[in-house]
């Protein structure tokens, strides 16, 4: 069997497992849906953090914007948002979403979320991505918290008491299974698009920015424009994943779900570094491993999870910065190493597992 | 929001009150920022756990006052305890990342900050706490301007600490070694300075400074496990505006940040005060970047 066949067989196997998983392990559907969203988080973080060398602590901004935009669209199509959010305290009004309207809201809400997140990335990126490395990192840290604080005080979107996504109609049945397939599809699309992107000139350009930005600029690359484009791409996928996550969780807290720097914001960095940043498969491996560890050990840590998480970050960053895939590449270069074959047209073919 | 602005113009005493109280808290910001500048300048590490050291110092004061000790005594105790913690952190984690790039240090200290913050949250819960110092309030300008005596005292103590720190860095052998290492670590090593010890002392000194700040914060204001990040961001912002090793700049920037924050809290509503701090950071960084970009154009 040739390499291409092996690759195809591997991907078909993952597809089959992904499609069948909710029927095989119905008890873990919501965790598996979360897993695919984590894959999206890690992959999109790695686009700027690993491949481009711009480590962001603020990608949750796009997650939160996507989440709020999607849910607000879903509600806003049928009802007044102010009344909807105001009635949570026990109003007399009931809000019913029947199947066509629910699907319509979702079909409109997810793209709106992606669009607004992309817009935010373009506007913020134009300002923020002119900065180099560590200034960018701390600036995005500020952005993430600022967004959470604003959402936490904005009455119209529910402020600190959060927002409840529309109640789905009975026909949909198992909600976790319904959104599992959304999450799975999104993860697959994200993976394929980013895999393709890294093989294009754009991929080479962002790697060049990571390796030496001044030289990349001297070679004639419009670095700021490329950086903004990369961030926008990350934001699109994060925006969609935000819409899915909000509906999956059934409740949006501005600081604990939407703009959650302390959980999702940290986890996406951790997953990407754990798996190996700057690789395509690394973030996927990191996300799977992290979700498995999280689900297996979380309950036994009795409230010490977040302390353990901080320790894990310190340990990984200090002792294991190259990640799993990076370590495998160093250890077994002939099996996992990068093979770059440049042809005359200037594009490079990279085969890395 | 506009109404509030109007109030400020029509009733200048309120403005005076806000600005004065802001300046008082600004002294604490300046002190924490000077510690960050010290670590950044000497060790080339941006310490994200800066605010968590402040928070820990605050908890020292809270615990001591809960056991009947006057929280003013907590200032030296917090400094000593935090010096120990800083030293310990250097010996376990920080010494491994001193030579690595700045981003590794950001991520590692970010991890440390999460550990400390969540540790305190798990042990003491997320409640807002204060250490009562039982001091009165000063009324000025016919009662329109209120200044808590503890805030004045904390301002004075912060000033004293700053003076002591500067004298220490200028006069003492260790202070001179710290400054020599900041200028050129290799040359310092050649001259027989144990830079590893200097780094440990610097990191401990910074933690001690933050701990003392934190004890003041707990007395004059409040502490809870999540106050760390805002203090880190404020320190970073002040250092960016003032530049490394510019004490006068740090003090000016710290005091004006305190005043600006207080006024903004009044105009926008207190619930937006933190958002203001974080957005101000973004604005400051963008402004700095814009200035650098303009400078770069001369080279064309």
Tens place of pLDDT for every residue, chain A, 353 residues? 677 888 888 888 888 888 888 888 888 888 899 999 999 999 999 999 889 988 888 899 999 999 999 999 988 888 877 777 776 655 556 777 788 888 888 899 999 999 999 999 999 998 888 887 788 888 898 888 889 888 888 888 877 788 888 888 877 778 888 899 999 999 999 999 999 999 999 999 999 999 988 899 888 888 889 999 999 999 999 999 999 999 998 888 888 888 887 788 888 988 998 998 888 999 999 999 998 888 887 777 777 888 888 888 899 888 888 888 888 888 887 777 666 555 555 555 554 44
Whether B118 sits inside 8 A of A306 (CB atoms) is yes
Closest CA to A50 of A284, A216, A236: A284
Distance from CA of B275 to the nearest CA of A (A): 5
How many structural domains is chain B composed of? 1
A111 lies in a domain?
yes
Identify the three-state secondary structure at position B147.
Answer: strand
Tokens coding A343:
């042809």
Phi, psi (rounded to 5 degrees) for A221:
-80, 140
Q: In this structure, is residue A120 part of a structural domain?
A: yes
Task: Answer whether residue A312 is part of any domain.
Answer: no
As a dihedral over the C-alpha atoms of residue A269, residue A120, residue B51, residue B179, rounded to 10 degrees, the angle is 90
C-beta separation of B51 from B225 below 8 A: no
In a domain, A84, yes or no: yes
Q: Which residues of A touch B275 (CB under 8 A)?
A: 146, 149-150, 153
Residue A336 placed within a domain: no
Q: Looking at the domain assignment, is residue A25 inside a domain? A: no
Residue B173 token pair: 């052998």
Q: Tell me the chain B residues in contact with residue A311 when contact means C-beta distances shorter than 8 Å.
A: 111, 115
User: For the segment B119-173, what is each residue's pLDDT rounded down to a tens digit?
Assistant: 998 888 888 888 887 777 777 666 677 788 888 888 999 999 999 999 999 999 9
User: What domain count does chain A have?
Assistant: 1
β-strand partners of A350 = A340
What's B141's domain CATH number? 1.10.3470
Angstroms from A307 CA to nearest CA on chain B: 5
- Domain span at residue B202 reads 2-297
Q: With an 8 Å Cβ cutoff, are B103 and A142 in contact?
A: no
Nearest to A266 by CA among A298, A235, A310: A310
Contact indicator for B66, B265 with CB cutoff of 8 Å: no
Residue B146, strand partner residues: B139
The residue segments making up the domain with residue A37 are 30-304
Tell me the whole-structure pTM to 2 decimals: 0.86
Partners of residue A314 in chain B, C-beta under 8 Å: 93, 108, 111-112, 115
- CB contacts, 8 Å: A133 with chain B: 102-103
Asked if the structure places residue A326 within a domain, the reply is no
d(CA A316, CA A304): 18
- Proportion of chain B above pLDDT 90, given as a percent: 49
Distance from CA of A304 to the nearest CA of B (A): 7
Q: How far does chain B reach from its first CA to its final CA, in angstroms?
A: 45
* ipTM of model: 0.83
Residue A179 lies in a domain: yes
Render the burial of B72-105: b for 16+ CB within 10 Å, e for the rest: bebbebbbebbbebbbebbeebbeebbeeebbbb
Q: Where are the alpha helices (DSSP H) in chain A?
A: 3-24, 29-49, 60-76, 81-86, 99-128, 133-153, 175-199, 201-211, 213-218, 223-249, 266-275, 281-297, 305-319, 323-331, 333-336
């Amino acid at each position: 069997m040739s390499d291409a066949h092996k690759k195809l067989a591997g991907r078909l196997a993952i597809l089959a497992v992904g499609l069948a998983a909710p029927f095989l392990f119905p008890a873990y559907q919501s965790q598996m849906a979360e897993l695919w969203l984590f894959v999206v988080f890690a992959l999109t973080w790695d686009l700027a953090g690993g491949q481009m060398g711009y480590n962001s602590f603020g990608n949750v901004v796009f997650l939160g914007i996507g989440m709020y935009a999607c849910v607000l669209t879903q509600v806003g199509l049928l009802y007044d948002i102010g009344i909807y959010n105001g009635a949570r305290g026990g109003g007399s009004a009931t809000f019913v979403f029947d199947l066509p309207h629910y699907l319509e809201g979702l079909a409109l809400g997810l793209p709106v979320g992606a669009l607004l997140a992309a817009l935010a990335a373009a506007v913020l990126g134009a300002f923020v991505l002119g900065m180099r490395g560590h200034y960018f990192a701390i600036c995005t840290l500020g952005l993430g918290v600022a967004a959470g604080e604003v959402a936490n005080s904005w009455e119209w979107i529910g402020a600190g008491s959060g927002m409840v996504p529309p109640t789905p109609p009975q026909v949909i049945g198992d909600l976790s299974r319904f959104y599992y397939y959304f999450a799975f599809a999104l993860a697959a699309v994200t993976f394929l698009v980013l895999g393709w992107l890294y093989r294009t000139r754009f991929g080479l350009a962002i790697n060049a920015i990571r390796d030496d930005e001044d030289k990349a600029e001297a070679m004639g690359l419009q670095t700021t424009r490329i950086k903004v484009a990369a961030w926008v791409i990350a934001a699109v996928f994060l925006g969609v994943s935000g819409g899915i996550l909000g509906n999956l969780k059934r409740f949006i807290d501005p600081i604990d779900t939407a703009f959650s720097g302390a959980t999702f914001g940290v986890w996406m960095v951790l997953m990407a570094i754990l798996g190996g940043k700057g690789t395509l498969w690394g973030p996927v491996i990191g996300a799977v491993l992290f979700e498995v560890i999280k689900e297996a050990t979380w309950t036994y840590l009795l409230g010490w999870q977040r302390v353990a998480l901080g320790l894990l970050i310190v340990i990984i960053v200090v002792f294991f910065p190259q990640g799993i895939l990076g370590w495998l590449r160093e250890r077994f270069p002939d099996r996992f190493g990068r093979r770059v074959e440049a042809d005359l047209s200037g594009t490079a073919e990279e085969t890395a597992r | 929001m506009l109404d509030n602005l109007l109030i400020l113009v029509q009733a200048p005493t309120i403005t005076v009150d806000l600005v004065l109280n802001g300046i008082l808290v600004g002294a604490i910001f300046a002190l924490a920022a000077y510690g960050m500048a010290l670590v950044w300048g000497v060790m080339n590490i941006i310490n994200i756990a800066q605010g968590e050291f402040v928070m820990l110092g605050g908890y020292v004061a809270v615990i001591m006052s809960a056991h009947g000790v006057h929280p003013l005594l907590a200032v030296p105790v917090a400094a000593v305890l935090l010096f120990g913690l800083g030293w310990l952190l250097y010996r376990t984690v920080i010494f491994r990342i001193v030579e690595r790039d700045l981003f590794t240090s950001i991520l590692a200290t970010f991890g440390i900050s999460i550990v400390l913050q969540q540790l305190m949250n798990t042990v003491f819960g997320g409640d807002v706490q204060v250490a009562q110092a039982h001091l009165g309030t000063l009324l000025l300008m016919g009662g329109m301007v209120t200044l808590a005596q503890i805030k004045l005292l904390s301002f004075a103590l912060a000033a004293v600490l700053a003076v002591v720190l500067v004298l220490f860095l200028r006069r003492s052998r260790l202070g001179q070694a710290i400054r020599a290492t900041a200028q050129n670590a290799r040359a310092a090593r050649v001259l027989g300075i144990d830079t590893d010890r200097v780094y440990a002392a610097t990191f401990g000194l910074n933690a001690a400074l933050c701990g003392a700040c934190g004890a003041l914060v707990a007395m004059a204001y409040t502490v809870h496990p999540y106050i760390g990040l805002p203090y880190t961001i404020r320190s970073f912002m002040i250092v960016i505006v003032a530049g490394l090793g510019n004490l006068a700049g740090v003090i000016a920037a710290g005091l004006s940040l305190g005043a600006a924050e207080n006024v903004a809290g009044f105009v926008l509503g207190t619930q937006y005060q933190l958002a203001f701090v974080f957005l101000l950071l973004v604005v400051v960084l963008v402004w700095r970047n814009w200035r650098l970009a303009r400078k770069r154009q001369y080279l064309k």
